[in-house]
A = this chain, B = another copy of it.
Amino acid sequence: MTIVNNVTRETDRSGLTSFLAGGDLLQRDLLGIWGGRPDQLGRIAEYALVPAGKLLRPLLVLESARCVGGTAEGLTELALAIEYLHVATLLHDDIIDEDDMRRGRPSVQAEFGVPAAIVAGDGLILETFAALTGSRPASVSDADIVAVTSVMARAGVGLCRGQLLESEFVGDLDCTVEQYLTMAQLKTGALFESACRIGAILGTDRQDWIDALGEYGMKLGTAFQIRDDLLAFDDTPALIGKPHESDLQNRRPTLPILLSYQRAADSERKQLERAFRGELPADESFAVVRTIVETTGGRDAAAQFAAQLIADAKDRLTRLPVGESTDTLAEIAGYASRRAF
């Protein structure tokens, strides 16, 4: 709670506040698009999309367009497309992880059943591409749409590759930091990269700006994944909307756990292994891991990794035009280093 309040106070008059407030407008647009559709796909999509999360990815599309001198005017439907893909992967994640809660309420699979959640996730991926090739302002060319669609499709493929990589590492405490980072870049970085890249493509023809924003997004997204890993060890379950134990129960070697394992003494390593193999009672298991992640400094080391990525992300912004949107993107990076979206 303190963290949230601090952030709000720190940034009260900043671009970040209005950036995040933009989410409320997008939320209204989402409801306009998805509210009250009569068919089952519409019903599930509305349930999954509204109320939304922070809508960070579509907001990044719009801010990236502004950052390179373009306008966000008329880009709402194109920007929201990335949220459909993101939410589709959440639907399918929850099936895979057997998570019954998402954003503090029953997940789609818990509410509508696994078969419907599989099909609705597919439908949302397809809606992403329907939205990208749907209505758009006259200023956006066919070539822009092709470029943007290609970026989105490739990022999505990367995301799936990252998820498959992650499942190869399930239960594997010997996963290296490099392997973890590859996985995090694909699983989370790629979609953030695509958000920024898509916005930039819609706002400019300058390839160097498009690339700088793409790299910013990749660093930001990878840092975000690490922050997400760290949230499991925070004191504010409300922020996550899923149980603290979820990663552990799914035997997912997150960065704080991997770094702790590398640093741990033999007895602690054995305890981590037992917790990871599910050999400890469920309630004891998380407490054990939590203590070891603290005492070994693995948690702090993971936070340091995230901080470095954030610094790198901010560095990329120095290649972009000076302006309000660029400042806002820098603030978003700072925000992400303190908590996850």
- Decide: A96 and B125 in contact? CB cutoff 8 A: no
Instruction: State which of A22-30, A70-78, A155-163 sits at the interface with chain B.
Output: A155-163
- Decide: A146 and B153 in contact? CB cutoff 8 A: no
In angstroms, Cα B122 to Cα A153, docked, is 11
- Decide: A153 and B126 in contact? CB cutoff 8 A: yes
Residue of B96, B119, B142, B153 touching A92 (CB-CB under 8 A): B119
Instruction: State which of A128-136, A212-220, A289-297, A302-310 sits at the interface with chain B.
Output: A128-136
A39 contacts chain B at the CB level, 8 A cutoff: yes
- Decide: A39 and B88 in contact? CB cutoff 8 A: no
* Closest B residue to A129 using CB positions: B153
Interface residues of A in 263-288 (CB under 8 A from B): none
In angstroms, Cα B90 to Cα A119, docked, is 11
With A149-B133, A150-B134, A153-B126 in contact, do A41 and B160 touch (Cβ < 8 Å)? yes
Interface residues of A in 107-148 (CB under 8 A from B): 114-116, 118-123, 125-130, 132-134, 141-143, 145-147
- Decide: B153 and A119 in contact? CB cutoff 8 A: no
With A126-B156, A145-B142, A160-B123 in contact, do A133 and B118 touch (Cβ < 8 Å)? no
- Decide: B164 and A116 in contact? CB cutoff 8 A: yes
- Decide: B119 and A96 in contact? CB cutoff 8 A: yes
- Decide: A40 and B146 in contact? CB cutoff 8 A: no
Residue of B40, B41, B142, B164 touching A119 (CB-CB under 8 A): B164
In angstroms, Cα B330 to Cα A129, docked, is 32
Residue of B41, B130, B157, B165 touching A153 (CB-CB under 8 A): B130
- Decide: B120 and A160 in contact? CB cutoff 8 A: yes
A198 contacts chain B at the CB level, 8 A cutoff: no
A154 contacts chain B at the CB level, 8 A cutoff: yes
Which 8 A-B residue pairings sit nearest by Cβ, starting from the closest?
A: A123-B160, A133-B150, A142-B142, A126-B156, A129-B153, A130-B153, A40-B164, A96-B115
